[in-house]
């Protein structure tokens, strides 16, 4: 489901004494964070903060946020989650954010049967694994092209070609 504001990551600590913070991004790369001039402290966009500077630093990003110009002020930001406005991120057509998969309805492409909804995504080395909440519990499917037929986050519908035995009582 398309959401206007998405979680981008969490401030985990300070960096130096001039107010910079270490930001753990929940995206593919810390470099992605550099795209944003404004971030938000809430998922409604009501509490914004200007990004003065952002740079990757290993697996985190170092941020300097407007009004936080010393270590004491920056300490108050620890554990805060920052949100991004989706329209500020330019994604290639046919791509989406993991958060947008949550609550999408999963449909069997072959039968048209509704199988459940996406409730979580696990990122593994080889491919992501999508967790589907069904009437009988949770089913895990690999997010690979042989299984995922189409994803339409705007409509909240994902069509799959299920692996035999996952959604039925076959042996």
Q: How far apart are CA 6 and CA 40, in angstroms?
A: 9
What integer pLDDT is reported at residue 165 of this predicted model?
81
Question: Tell me: the pLDDT tens digits for 62-109?
Answer: 999 999 999 999 999 999 999 999 999 888 887 888 889 999 999 999
Strands (E) in 16-145, as ranges, are 20-25, 38-40, 48-57, 60-65, 81-85, 105-108, 114-123, 128-134, 137-142
pLDDT band at 2 (very low <50, low <70, confident <90, very high): confident
Question: Per residue in 11-42, pLDDT tens?
Answer: 999 999 999 999 999 987 899 999 999 999 99
Distance, CA of 158 to chain centre: 17
pLDDT confidence of 58, banded at 50, 70, 90?
very high
Per-residue pLDDT averaged across 49-74, rounded? 95
- pLDDT tops 80 at residue 111: yes
Domains (ranges, CATH) in the chain?
5-88 (2.40.30.60), 98-160 (2.30.30.240)
Contact between 77 and 47 under an 8 Å Cβ cutoff? The reply is no
- State the pLDDT at residue 171: 39
Per-residue pLDDT at 169? 56
Give pLDDT tens digits for 126-170.
899 999 999 989 999 999 999 999 999 989 999 999 988 888 754
User: CA-CA distance, 87 to 79, in Å (whole number)?
Assistant: 25
């Amino acid at each position: 489901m398309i959401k206007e504001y998405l979680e981008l990551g969490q401030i985990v600590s300070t960096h130096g004494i001039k107010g910079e913070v270490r930001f753990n991004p929940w995206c593919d790369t810390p470099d992605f964070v550099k795209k944003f001039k404004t971030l938000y402290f809430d998922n409604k966009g009501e509490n914004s903060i200007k990004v003065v500077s952002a740079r990757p630093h290993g697996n985190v990003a170092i941020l300097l946020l407007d009004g936080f110009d010393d270590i004491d002020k920056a300490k108050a930001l620890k554990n805060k989650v920052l949100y991004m406005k989706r329209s500020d991120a330019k994604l290639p057509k046919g791509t989406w954010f993991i958060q947008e998969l949550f609550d999408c309805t999963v449909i069997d492409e072959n039968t048209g049967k509704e199988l459940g909804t996406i409730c979580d995504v696990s990122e593994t080395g080889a491919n992501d694994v999508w967790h589907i909440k069904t009437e009988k519990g949770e089913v895990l499917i690999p997010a690979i092209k042989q299984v995922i037929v189409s994803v339409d986050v705007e409509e909240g519908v994902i069509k799959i070609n299920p692996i035999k035995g996952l959604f039925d009582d076959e042996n």
